[in-house]
Amino acid sequence: MFPLVTSKERAIRRMRKASKAPLPEEAGKRISEPGMFAAYFRYELPDEMFSSVQLALLLRNIERASSQEERDKIYLDTLQSMAKGSLKRDDFLRKLAEAPKAVSGAVAKSLGLSAAKASAHYTYDLMPGFGEAGHVLRLIGFAARGLSARERVEYLRECIVDSTDDTMAFRILTVLPAQKDELQLGVSVADLYPSFADHMRERYGLMVDASNLNVNNSDPWALEYWGRDLRSSGIPSTPEDREIQYNFWRRYIGNSRARLASAFRQFFLPMAAYSTDPTPLVENRISLKDLRRLYQDLPDDPTLTSHDRASLQTLRRLLDGEFKDGFSPLDGPLYEE
């Protein structure tokens, strides 16, 4: 009844489901969470809950603020007053996601913009509708619902451009247009894509100091999508964007074999199950010509970790054409020695 399943198998199953997962409904009464015990059995508010009084005060302060910058600060100060990943912050964001249903359209719009600007501070789950970022995605979606069709597109475009994490920008672009029922927005990926491209160009463009960019807020699947030619699907992508990305990675890696290994592991061929040749996906991020040259020419680095050396071994296998029929981590370790 309870078969043994490795952590890799669980990760792969989650990844296979992630692209098809709808945003979840309200997460019920949360009676399975230990932090909620006091609320049910001692009739008192536990520290792990964000009270309705606190939420009402926050919304009132945001409504009275004189500028979007002031609202952004109020929101970010409130968010950072709670530990990242804590039950209380999850409760805050879960309740805030429903706020657009009870406040004016202007306040809801301001909340969504503030939340998008803080996207580098959230925890992210493989399933788009879960975790702190999942609550924020619903907040932005519900805020958009209160706007006219034209305003809705402009608002979502603004949220994409202002997102400080690629994953949030990418999920607004691809997840929100696919929602049904109460979160059906009547917008398309094609409507929003120009702003996603602007977001990515600002992050990785020719004027960016690539060698010093913090890639912790970069997303391998957002980068892969940005590198595609989507014009045949009616999405206004441009071939120049792929070249911009190629140039960024050449500048980021520079003369460092360790950076080549890390970038390959995290971004060019991230851990996943590939049912077909992953080479086209890699080439949406960096050219195989560049990868081959870097692999062959960069000097050895005595600081390479075992993960780095395993990453370079996987890169060699890709260049040798070993993954033409696809590859699954279950078939053998990608990045372990």
DSSP per-residue codes, 106-138: HHHHHHHHHHHHTGGGS---SSTTSHHHHHHHH
- Domain-terminating residue out of 143, 170, 187: 187
CB-CB neighbours of 268 under 10 Å: 25
Do 115 and 27 lie in one domain? The reply is: yes
Q: What is the spatial distance between Cα 3 and Cα 313, in angstroms, rounded to a whole number?
A: 32
Do 50 and 124 lie in one domain? The reply is: yes
**How much is the pLDDT for 43?**
44
Q: Where are the beta strands (DSSP E) in the chain?
A: none
Do 55 and 147 lie in one domain? The reply is: yes
- Domain-terminating residue out of 187, 205, 230: 187
**How much is the pLDDT for 1?**
40
If the chain, 337 residues long, is cut into consecutive pieces of 10 residues, what is the mean pLDDT of each piece? Answer: 49 50 50 50 61 93 95 97 94 95 92 97 93 96 94 97 98 96 92 98 96 95 97 94 97 97 96 92 97 96 93 95 86 66
Do 180 and 236 lie in one domain? The reply is: no
Do 173 and 259 lie in one domain? The reply is: no
Do 181 and 219 lie in one domain? The reply is: no
Domain membership of residue 160 as a residue range: 23-187
Count: domains in the chain? 2
298 domain-assigned: yes
Do 36 and 175 lie in one domain? The reply is: yes
**How much is the pLDDT for 328?**
79
**How much is the pLDDT for 9?**
52
Do 155 and 229 lie in one domain? The reply is: no
234 domain-assigned: yes
Do 94 and 35 lie in one domain? The reply is: yes
Q: How far apart are the first and last CA of the chain?
A: 33
Do 86 and 183 lie in one domain? The reply is: yes
205 domain-assigned: no
3 domain-assigned: no
193 domain-assigned: no
Do 320 and 242 lie in one domain? The reply is: yes
pTM of this structure: 0.84
- CB neighbour list of residue 235: distance below 8 Å, 6 or more residues apart: 189, 190, 193
- Domain-terminating residue out of 152, 187, 222: 187
- Residue 229 per-residue DSSP state: -
**How much is the pLDDT for 44?**
47
124 domain-assigned: yes
12 domain-assigned: no
208 domain-assigned: no
